[in-house]
Amino acid sequence: MAWLTLLDKKIADYLPDMTVAQDEPLSRHCSFRIGGAARRMAFPKNGEQLILLQAFAEECGARTILLGRGSNVLFPDEGLDALVISTEEMDEITSPEPGLYVARAGATLNRLALQACRDGYTGLEFAHGIPGSVGGGVCMNAGAYDGELRHVIEWVEALFPEEGVRRIPCEEMAFGYRHSLLSDHPEAIVLSAAFRLTKGDSTEIRAKMDDLMARRKKSQPLEFPSAGSTFKRPAGYFAGRLIEEADCKGLAVGGAQVSEKHAGFVINRGGATCADVRGLIAEVQRRVYERSGVMLEPEVCIIEK
């Protein structure tokens, strides 16, 4: 593994204070609690370290995979002969002026929503309870309960390997349903994003957040590991309803199961493998297509070994 030796030396020489784990179980770093070990996993503390690390990895010929909070990811059982770069330590949130919040890629959307609530700013209530990071949320225009990040984002700062760091205004981000400009540029890395919120009443904001959380707990299988909604919403349909109509609710493959609480979720009931989840996804797709003629598209990001 020549890349390992080269990369380890580069990190020791130029990034000695950055945390790097060897053969790190990926199941510890994703909400599905599934996945083998990554040969190397690095935790940069800021954008400068991340940019330098990315350059070193390219020089050493290492395959790199960027990871936020792992809330929408399925890792392979065999693990990855790769460098996984986690942004979880890049979690600073600042407010340079009233109503404007700048969050680094690794900050959680939930924490950002809670800080805005404490300060009395409205617009991010829908993000309360979303477990993902700012970076991942920006890439897929995360949303829930009629709210989407595109409604509150002012700009996104991202690293494009061929161009360098760009600050992209919201209107140029091409936001759509579970899509953004960055969906078409998987090589780009979100470093931070700015959110413009409106002054409101903290008590009312908190009440709305509590209501949305109660609705989540009532309708979603939050007591089991999962990656949230497993399938994207097909145009003109609801994925969960199509899955129920195809008699897939409760369907299981190994330790993976279509939730009996919400058919749009595939859950890890205990000991599920990546192979179990992929097999179940394929069977649900087959049955739904056979029943309704609609091919469901996974929303969960499946990482190949």
* Burial class, 223, CB count within 10 angstroms (exposed 0-12 / middle 13-18 / buried 19+): exposed
Which one is catalytic: 150, 178, 278, 287? 178
| Secondary structure class of 137 (helix, strand, coil) | helix
Dihedral of CA atoms 196, 202, 208, 213 in degrees, nearest 10, equals 90
CB burial class (10 A; 0-12, 13-18, 19+) of residue 32?
A: buried
Helices then strands, counting H and E runs in the chain, come out as: 7, 19
Q: Active-site residue 178, yes or no?
A: yes
Q: Please tell me the distance from the alpha carbon of residue 20 to that of residue 233, in angstroms, as a whole number.
A: 38
CA distance 85 to 88: 9
Element (H, E) at 256: strand 256-258
Q: Which 3 state secondary structure label does DSSP give 278?
A: helix
Choosing from 71, 86, 192, 229, the catalytic residue is 229
- Tell me how far apart the alpha carbons of residues 226 and 72 are, in angstroms, rounded to a whole number: 8
Catalytic site residue 278? Answer: no
Rounded Cα distance between 283 and 253, Å, is 9
241 is catalytic: no
Which residues are the active-site residues? 178, 229, 299
